[in-house]
Structure 1
Amino acid sequence: MGEQIEKQGYSFGTFKGVYTPSVLTIFGVIMYLRFGWVLGNVGLAGTLLIVTIATSITFLTGLSISAMATNMKVGGGGAYYIIARSLGLEAGAAIGLPLFFARAIGIAFYIAGFTEALLSIMNPLASLGIEPALAAKIISAGTLLLLTVLVYFSADLALKIQFGIFAAITVSLISFFMGNPSSEALAIPLDAVIPPKAGFWVVFAVFFPAVTGIEAGLGLSGDLKDPSKSLPIGTLLAIATGYVVYMVMPVFLNAKIPDSSLLLVDPNIMATISRWAPLVVAGVFAASLSSAMGSLLGAPRTLQALAVDRVIPRFIGRGFGKDKADPRIATAFSFVVALAAVWLGNLNLIAPILSMFFLLSYGLLNLSAGLEGLIESPSWRPKFKIHYGVSLLGAALCFAAMLMIDAGATLISIFVTALVYYLVKRRRLNAHWADMRYGILTQLVRFAIHHLSRLKPDERTWKPNILALSGSPKSRWHLVEMAHALTQHSSALTVASILPVEDWSAEKVQSMESSMHDYLEKREVDAMVKIFPSPDMLTGAKSLVRAYGYGPLVPNTILLGDTENRSSFIEFAELIQLVYRTRRNLIMLRESDVTVDEDADRKADAIADEIHVWWGGNKANIGLILTLAYQIQKSPVWQQSKLVIKTIVDSEDELEPARERMETFIEEQRIPAEAKVLIKSMPSFYEIIRQSSANAGLIFMGMRPPGEEETIEAYSDYYGKLMDATKQMPPLALALAAEDIEFRQVIGISGRN
């Protein structure tokens, strides 16, 4: 349906559909009523610099538009369409909606120029006793209504009228350059109040809308016969024409005006200087009305494109008339916005508002073309080729100009754009086209990985990058929950499941990955999913440990559950040995098998939110354990828990020194924990742990690493004894540090601790 609407419309050529509306908007109200003011404020050199900077931004944007227009079929909506198809629907909507309002407000801007010029000659409502301020608003509203009626019924008729307007502007410029006024005509009135001069960037903000005429042609992109040909030629010709005229005019004015103060008090300086003043007045009327008409043609089509893409209600984009090309409902919306803006009626007040949104849209157009060239995907094959650096320079100039004009207004415009982006993102609209976001992210990842490969992991920036061998999250949710608590959106997590090889197919893997993604997203678990075909679970787990990852981005920590199937102890011990020898840390999470009776409920409720860390003899393990315990406390599930660090000493004489060492360590390392030292009162350490931590919410303990010469049978025997010794305990996380990282330094343990 969307594609059908995009194909509807007129079939305008380059001159009628792009060059004419663009150049008429460039030679608009600012040229006639504000260009002399620009020269009076910043002088000849400043004016030429402003024209050059503004035109450079527009020219670079024109080059970017030309490249993108020759690489895609440009539909209706102009800048919105290009940005949405390049940076995504959300980014397109984020600039499309503000751009619509900027163009709709621009209608009021140009009509205000027409009204100002008219009232400088006469007040047609004076006979009715209406004061000039109110008369300006009434005349502007009436003019807006007449133009809207014209555009409402036929864009083709509106553009035909612009040929006559083009002729009127040409004649007015000829009259201007033929002017040779007398010294009396150039005298400053005795009662004139000369205002203070404005700053460079204030003047730039007022002037910049004069060179944004390319939006007029771009806005009609959906009504062009051949956009890929018409947009580059028409846009660049219009920019070149405007630059030549705007560079010559201030030189001519500067030569003719003896006192620059006149430029600050006479807004009709072009008429004052010209050979035949009525021709310039006619040019002012024609230029302001044609510019307003150009915005009235462009703004509704931006709104129509937004409706076609379902960003706003679709009925707004409905077409009427010949080939259903006239967006009359969208035109009515534009009329309402413009009518509201008419009551502002001040050119100097409206111009900077327009500048911000035009600069932002130009910046994103340049950014889109620059990123396309930087990514260098095979689909980027524009007939009009430019280096990506040219487009990125254009984007940088746009954003720099915004900040120089008004940093506060820049932040507001960025905030508005970001807010629209967020609101559209929340709606999760499905675009029917592919954009380049995947390519951008791929390029960033490639850049990061290449630079990351030259660095080594260090203690200062260490975080757990976890591969959770959980299988189906539904069946072993406690493993996913633990992994998520440890990573918490700040480090990487992969949830992996082994698929029996006899059931393997590409479609089944894709379906399982999609199902697991949806399941995890609903539970707000930010994780990647890996489905790995293998003959059996342990073989698949070993393969994942060996091979999973890309370049330097490999899991540094493996999280898995325990097994009590004694026939699998050898293979499970081999898996632990493999994890250790590939220098991955291991967390083996064991679910609680304790049956809590009713008498223990009250005590359990009191301390079930405690995390108990048992400090044994392995310093590498305790560094990892304390890091993990601290990390898990940052998760919402455990952030109210209390961390208790426990250790066991052989005699009462060792009790106080051990407690003091632990309390000093906790204070020095800023760990929110409590220290507890127990005296060995039973032959088995595990029995002491079982009793002391009977009602803890989670226990952390260390595991012994496999010895270099130790047989797998011997380590399997150790694993079996460990499973027997840790029965009837609360949830237990057994940790084994193997990574080439000094975990004691991560948490701040010195050699003396």
Structure 2
Amino acid sequence: MSGDLKDPRKSIPIGTMSAIGLTMVIYLLLAIWLSRVATVDELLNIDPGNIVMADKAAWSWAVVAGLLGATFSSALASMVAAPRVMQALGQHQILPSSDFVAEESVTGEPRHALLVTSVIVLATLLFAFFGGGLNAIAPLITMFFLLTYGTLNAVVLIEQTLGMVSFRPTLPIPRWVPLVGLLSCLFVMTLVNPVFSLIAIIFTLAIYAYLLRKKLRAPWGDVRSGLFMSLAEWAGERVSRLPGAPERTWSPSVLAPVMNAETMNGSYRFLRSIVSPQGSVRALGLYQTGHRESVEKLDLITQAFIADGVYARTTLLKVSDFESGVSTAIEVLASVFFRPNILFLPLFANEQQVDLENLLNEIAPFKIGVALLARHPVIDLGREQLINVWVREQGPDWKLGMRLSNLDLSVLLAYQLARNWRGRINLCMSVTDLETAIKARAYLNELIDLARLPAKTQVHVIEAPFYEALRQMPGADINFFGLPNDFDPVFLNEVIEIVGASCLFVRDSGDESALA
């Protein structure tokens, strides 16, 4: 067996190529000999009881003996190799009941794997016996051989195309060789039996899907990561040459800086709701000298995001203070291709808002949206059902455009929440008179239509000053407000106190559009 060779890396290629070369010479000589001793009609006559080569040979018994010997040799090789292959699959936890088939006897023989393969062979022989002979299953077995050869050619072709440094074959071949091999295997499969070809491909894809669900980690890695990385690099290069259109491709990509993992854990459900299913979260763990342990558990939280189907990553950064750390991180990430487009910060205490004012001024040039979450200390996010989005008066023209007045990000995040909460959005506006109220209702209804908000979205226009309208508006689980360019902590505190529920203060980045 190959695993028992002294130097498999050297012996297997030499033995394989030697065997292929020798059998090719034998087959060519036999073809030439048969073309001289037999007619075309005799060669085309497929009769199991009449072997042309035996009839034309000087010793017909030698041909029959050779056929029996070749058959016995193949059966013996399969009997020895198949259990060891199954044992190897079991050792890597690929098969069901892998521990059972991976066991060895005292002498090192894979007895359990031999037992399982024997049952498979017996079932196949019984099927052939009652289903028309071995010829009934021969095409299917041929398909799996061809699929194996085709897959090997496909892997070599992909590796060569990617040009990764790790792919350094000791026997380099031109790229067209695996391409011809792959196409030839697919062509022969279709030629032999199209139905069995389809069955074999479906069965192989089912095995691949099964292995993906097992989430196996191969110690030697695989080609998929390199393939996707190369595709991403290729796509990134092409996109960089095209005119930017961030509105059409926008998806929430949140940067969540924290100085302890507990803060991130407290925001987990809300973050998952505003980014799922296509968004992403980057946890930025900021720590000062001697306090790295406070953010080390962020990896566990990002793994939870991934388990919930949300792309998430953790970055740890040593900083002198929170404000400078966030500012530096945003400045660095502004140049990457998949950069975050929302800075998420939870509001905890009034004394932090002085730092927030300086921070928001520093990051303003980098075109990143801002979402400040003030959680209610008792009801938190309530039943996670009702979302109030407060819209400022849009007079005097009351016209909708691709760029709304600091409203695009609020509408998009409210839609994300409503979709993941299966909740309802209320578009709310405070106006001073009846004439303005009529224009406001028309504006908000048009916004629902053009922004393609859910059908159950409601409009609430209240004829009262803003703070009074906050008191009159029925309660919601969370309220969205636009964050003014001139940061006003007094405004935030007054709104939070009057509303009596969780609030999200949002500032657009300028790259999103609710109407796109």
In the superposition, the TM-score normalised over structure 1's length comes to 0.59
1:734 pairs with 2:516: no
Describe the shift of the 1:417–1:648 C-alpha distance in structure 2 as closer, same or farther (beyond 3 A).
Answer: same
Residue 348 of structure 1 and its aligned partner are, at CA, apart by: 2.7
State the secondary structure of the residue aligned to 1:460.
Answer: helix
State the secondary structure of the residue aligned to 2:46.
Answer: helix
Single out whichever of 517-526 and 547-556 deviates more from structure 2: 517-526
Structure 2 equivalent of residue 571 of structure 1: 355
Structure 1 equivalent of residue 483 of structure 2: 703
- Which of 462, 468, 480 is equivalent to 2:250? 462
1:531-546 to 2 correspondence within 5 Å?
531-546=316-331
Q: CA-to-partner distance for each residue in 1:136-167, whole Å, 9 max, x for gaps?
A: xxxxxxxxxxxxxxxxxxxxxxxxxxxxxxxx
1:470, 1:480 within 8 Å by CA — same for their partners in 2?
no
Task: Please tell me the residue identity of whatever aligns with 1:531.
Answer: L
2:479, 2:503 within 8 Å by CA — same for their partners in 1?
yes
Distance 1:223 1:533 in 2: 52
Structure 1 equivalent of residue 399 of structure 2: none
1:671 pairs with 2:453: yes
Describe the shift of the 1:660–1:338 C-alpha distance in structure 2 as closer, same or farther (beyond 3 A).
Answer: same
State the secondary structure of the residue aligned to 2:445.
Answer: helix
- The structure where helix makes up a greater share of residues is 1
Structure 1 equivalent of residue 153 of structure 2: 366
Q: CA-to-partner distance for each residue in 1:409-439, whole Å, 9 max, x for gaps?
A: 4554444444444545555556555555554
Structure 2 equivalent of residue 482 of structure 1: 270
Describe the shift of the 1:535–1:235 C-alpha distance in structure 2 as closer, same or farther (beyond 3 A).
Answer: same
Residue 657 of structure 1 and its aligned partner are, at CA, apart by: 4.4
Describe the shift of the 1:462–1:252 C-alpha distance in structure 2 as closer, same or farther (beyond 3 A).
Answer: farther
1:563, 1:569 within 8 Å by CA — same for their partners in 2?
no
Residue 222 of structure 1 and its aligned partner are, at CA, apart by: 0.6
Greater RCO, CA 8 A, separation 6+: 1
1:208-607 to 2 correspondence within 5 Å?
220-246=1-27, 249=30, 253=34, 256-259=38-41, 262-265=44-47, 268-311=51-94, 312-314=97-99, 316-319=101-104, 324=107, 326-343=109-126, 344-345=128-129, 346-374=133-161, 379-387=166-174, 390-391=177-178, 394-395=181-182, 397-399=184-186, 401-402=188-189, 409-427=196-214, 433-435=220-222, 438-455=225-242, 456-504=244-292, 511-518=296-303, 520=305, 526-548=311-333, 551-566=336-351, 568-593=352-377
1:307, 1:317 within 8 Å by CA — same for their partners in 2?
yes
1:612 pairs with 2:388: yes
Residue 488 of structure 1 and its aligned partner are, at CA, apart by: 1.1
Task: Please tell me the residue identity of whatever aligns with 1:592.
Answer: H
Distance 1:421 1:620 in 2: 49
- Which of 687, 696, 706 is equivalent to 2:468? 687
Distance 2:213 2:124 in 1: 30
Q: CA-to-partner distance for each residue in 1:506-541, whole Å, 9 max, x for gaps?
A: xx5994444444454566654111222112222212
Residue 301 of structure 1 and its aligned partner are, at CA, apart by: 1.5
Task: Please tell me the residue identity of whatever aligns with 1:534.
Answer: V
Residue 690 of structure 1 and its aligned partner are, at CA, apart by: 3.9
1:360, 1:398 within 8 Å by CA — same for their partners in 2?
yes
1:99-118 to 2 correspondence within 5 Å?
none
Structure 2 equivalent of residue 720 of structure 1: 490
Describe the shift of the 1:581–1:292 C-alpha distance in structure 2 as closer, same or farther (beyond 3 A).
Answer: same
State the secondary structure of the residue aligned to 1:734.
Answer: strand
Residue 308 of structure 1 and its aligned partner are, at CA, apart by: 3.0
Distance 1:692 1:459 in 2: 32
Residue 401 of structure 1 and its aligned partner are, at CA, apart by: 4.9
Describe the shift of the 1:667–1:516 C-alpha distance in structure 2 as closer, same or farther (beyond 3 A).
Answer: closer
Q: CA-to-partner distance for each residue in 1:355-411, whole Å, 9 max, x for gaps?
A: 222233223333444444455555544432335664455445445654665565455
1:546, 1:582 within 8 Å by CA — same for their partners in 2?
yes
1:622 pairs with 2:404: no
2:496, 2:502 within 8 Å by CA — same for their partners in 1?
no
TM-align CA RMSD: 3.4
What is the number of equivalent residue pairs in this alignment?
495
- The structure where strand makes up a greater share of residues is 2
Describe the shift of the 1:623–1:517 C-alpha distance in structure 2 as closer, same or farther (beyond 3 A).
Answer: closer
State the secondary structure of the residue aligned to 2:427.
Answer: strand
2:434, 2:463 within 8 Å by CA — same for their partners in 1?
no
Describe the shift of the 1:522–1:433 C-alpha distance in structure 2 as closer, same or farther (beyond 3 A).
Answer: same
2:319, 2:325 within 8 Å by CA — same for their partners in 1?
yes
1:649, 1:677 within 8 Å by CA — same for their partners in 2?
no
- Which ranges of structure 2 fall in alignment gaps of 5 or more residues? 395-403
Distance 1:403 1:692 in 2: 68
Task: Please tell me the residue identity of whatever aligns with 2:441.
Answer: R
Single out whichever of 301-310 and 514-523 deviates more from structure 2: 514-523
State the secondary structure of the residue aligned to 2:316.
Answer: strand
Distance 2:104 2:385 in 1: 63
Task: Please tell me the residue identity of whatever aligns with 2:240.
Answer: S
Residue 612 of structure 1 and its aligned partner are, at CA, apart by: 1.7
Describe the shift of the 1:385–1:592 C-alpha distance in structure 2 as closer, same or farther (beyond 3 A).
Answer: same
Single out whichever of 557-566 and 437-446 deviates more from structure 2: 437-446
Describe the shift of the 1:620–1:295 C-alpha distance in structure 2 as closer, same or farther (beyond 3 A).
Answer: farther
1:29-178 to 2 correspondence within 5 Å?
none
Distance 2:18 2:149 in 1: 18
- Which ranges of structure 1 fall in alignment gaps of 5 or more residues? 1-219, 597-603, 706-714, 747-753
